[in-house]
Amino acid sequence: MNSDTREILATKDVAWERRIMAARRRATLIDRAMTGVMSLAALFLVIVLSGVIFIILRAGLPAISWTFLTTASSITDPGGGIGPQIWVTMYILVLSLAIVTPIGVGAAIYLSEYARPGPITNAIRFSTEALASVPSVVFGVFGAIVFLTIMNLGFSVLSGSLTLALLNLPLMVRIAEDAIRAVPTAYREASLALGGSRWETIRKAVLPSALPGIITALVLTGGRIIGETAPLILTTGTTISPNAQYSLNPLQTGETLAVHIWVLKIVGVPGLQDAQLVADGSAAVLLLIVLIINVGMAYFTNRLTQRLRGASGAPRAGGSKKG
Amino acid sequence: MDASTPSATTMTVKDTSLFYGGFRAVKDINLHFRPHAVTAIIGSSGCGKSTMLRSLNRINDRVNGFRVEGTISLGDQDVYAPTTDVVDLRRRVGMVFQRPNPFPMSIFDNVAFGLTLYAPPKRADLEMMVETALRASALWGEVKDKLRRPATELSGGQQQRLCIARAIATRPDVLLMDEPCSALDPISTLKVEELIAELKRSYTVVIVTHNMQQAARASDVTVMMNMDEADRAGHVIEVGATDDIFTNPQHPQTEAYVSGRFG
């Protein structure tokens, strides 16, 4: 460093400082204003969320009773329940997730861990992303052609579950792949350097860290399954046979809660006086199911992460020890 | 008033303890960081060296539960006073981190980052300021033909000197360095050390290091810290001219540490 440079750096340019300080005052104001803007956005979010919960529950809670949750629906007389609809909703949720999870996570593992980076992998990734934004009703039409017409499965819980599995596959792959790719390379290298095979490395070093992200994928997918209507109307139907309520037979027709709401609110059931109340009650139940699933999953993820990473709140070296 | 005033400023730490929640990480610190001198803080891992350093520019404010008791001052300004403008404080107390952390931008834009934050100077002025900073960090010769290239293309040692250039471009009063060479090879380390020796002519330099030779080579004053076995809090064992600390340590812990028997 020559002495000129040293001289420059060792001194404050007073004019420059003055200019900065003037600009700093403005920057401080902008800083405060932006804090306000972000807080307002967050506040708006909280208001919307609590508003949705409040309005849906206020409309629907009066309808909810043990009888409402357990008896069959009626399209002729008031006082019908939604028991079979809850059953079908949970059945399709479980069946659809059971189909989409292994395929989705498997494909995500392949794309992130096995596939050689290059144009083909990129093309697959791009198509997956594109597929994720195809409207669900298009998948409904596709499902109707393939599962109802070609495979002859009829309007059934199985047709609906398969259709929803396909619908959710791209989303599942995208989120799961992101979660897996976010795992630090160092973990993979540590496992491989200890002589771990590729699969052992994935199973023991990569997936545990990616698990919270994969569970997020499951929860989002589950939410979409529970809330979907159009593809189910086209593949599962809108009725539940009175002699197949609470049936495990995947070839029965079915009607999920979301579809039930659609039928009551949009299609209309002439002569059923309490159709609106039943619909509102169904919406509240739907909301509660989603909330319960989310809270449950959050708790489960937490526990799982703690178990995989070792006990939570590990004491600092030499810190307080558990008795 | 002259067109320019000297910038290097004293930092003083008085009766200071630092807390993470209920845990007292560092206790009873009294230190004085002289202008135009390099002060090295040494001591074994976990003794609170970095916590001490990171409290000087309040970058540790970002850590949840972090709390300061005592007084830290920059010149006559109380660093933790409620009226202190933290942003302006950090502008005056620059920092270089353990791992080189250039932004994913061009070399030029990295150095210009701090200069263009509030009142972007004229292009010609900016170019001159960037050049001055790069010359001062002994990087100009290596990068002057590729200022538009991504900073991430530089070697680790070059990246760290770039980060130093970035830190001094805004002409801070104090320069904090948190183990700046721990991720560098010996040759890059030597270059950075030479640079530190140069920089002290312009600044107050405080450096945390694990490397004993580095403290011996590059610093004027050495602070030896260690953890108190009784309450696990880091504290200062000994402060002195670097030569004295390494040739004639007064405290047995310092003696053991600088001779490599523990730590």
> Does residue A251 lie within any of the structural domains?
yes
B contacts of A13 (beta carbons < 8 Å):
3-4, 171
Confidence of residue A273 (pLDDT cuts 50, 70, 90): confident
pLDDT at A3: 65
H-only helix segments in A182-311: 185-193, 198-201, 207-227, 230-235, 257-262, 275-309
Tens digit of each residue's pLDDT (9 = 90 or more) over B241-252: 999 999 999 999
CB contact under 8 A, B119 and A28: no
- Domain of A135: which CATH number? 1.10.3720.10
> Does residue A36 lie within any of the structural domains?
no
CB contact under 8 A, B135 and A1: yes
Confidence of residue A318 (pLDDT cuts 50, 70, 90): very low
Give the separation between CA B116 and CA B114, rounded to whole angstroms: 6
pLDDT at A244: 75
- Nearest chain B Cα distance for residue A316, angstroms: 10
Give the separation between CA B168 and CA B136, rounded to whole angstroms: 8
Which secondary-structure segment (H or E) carries B91?
A: helix B86-92
Average pLDDT, chain B: 90
Tens digit of each residue's pLDDT (9 = 90 or more) over B83-95: 998 988 998 999 9
pLDDT at A303: 86
CB contact under 8 A, A24 and B232: no
> Is the pLDDT reported for residue A143 higher than 50?
yes
* B57 close contact with A: CB closer than 8 A: no
Tell me which residue of A87, A8, A105 sits closest to B132, measured CA to CA.
Answer: A8
The SS3 of residue A77 is coil
Strand partners, B5: A12
pLDDT at B94: 94
Give the separation between CA B10 and CA B73, rounded to whole angstroms: 8
Q: Report yes or no: A131 and A200 within 8 Å, Cβ to Cβ.
A: no
> Is the pLDDT reported for residue B3 higher than 80?
no
Give the separation between CA B103 and CA B81, rounded to whole angstroms: 31
Q: Report yes or no: B196 and B207 within 8 Å, Cβ to Cβ.
A: yes
Give the separation between CA B164 and CA B179, rounded to whole angstroms: 13
CB contact under 8 A, B119 and A14: no
> Does residue A141 lie within any of the structural domains?
yes
> Does residue A161 lie within any of the structural domains?
yes
Q: Which of A12, A27, A316 sits opposite B4 (nearest CB)?
A: A12
ipTM for the predicted complex: 0.72
> Does residue A40 lie within any of the structural domains?
no
Domain count, chain A: 1
pLDDT at A87: 92
Confidence of residue B143 (pLDDT cuts 50, 70, 90): very high
> Rounded mean pLDDT of B183-197?
88
Tens digit of each residue's pLDDT (9 = 90 or more) over A88-121: 999 999 999 999 999 999 999 999 999 988 898 9
> Does residue A77 lie within any of the structural domains?
no
> Does residue A152 lie within any of the structural domains?
yes
Average pLDDT, chain A: 87
Confidence of residue A2 (pLDDT cuts 50, 70, 90): low
Domain range for A168 is 83-256
> Is the pLDDT reported for residue B189 higher than 50?
yes
CA distances from B135 to A6, A9, B142 (A): 10, 11, 10
Amino acid letter, residue A319: G
CA-based nearest residue in chain B for residue A11: B6
Domains of chain B: 11-101+173-258 (3.40.50.300)
Give the separation between CA A228 and CA A89, rounded to whole angstroms: 10
Residues 6+ apart with CB under 8 A from A216: A175, A179
Residue the block writes with tokens 């950090």: B90
Where is pLDDT greater, at A304 or A163?
Answer: A163
> Is the pLDDT reported for residue A14 higher than 90?
no
Give the separation between CA B200 and CA A15, rounded to whole angstroms: 24
> Is the pLDDT reported for residue B1 higher than 70?
no
Give the separation between CA B160 and CA A270, rounded to whole angstroms: 76
> Is the pLDDT reported for residue B205 higher than 90?
yes
> Does residue A275 lie within any of the structural domains?
no
Tens digit of each residue's pLDDT (9 = 90 or more) over A169-185: 999 999 999 999 999 99
Q: Exposure of A288 by Cβ count < 10 A (0-12 exposed, 13-18 middle, 19+ buried)? A: middle
Residue A148 DSSP symbol:
I
Residue to substitute from A1, A19, A321, interface B, most B β-carbons within 10 A: A1
> Is the pLDDT reported for residue B2 higher than 70?
no
Structure tokens at A84: 């079979």
Give the separation between CA A27 and CA A22, rounded to whole angstroms: 9
**Rg, C-alpha atoms of chain A:** 27
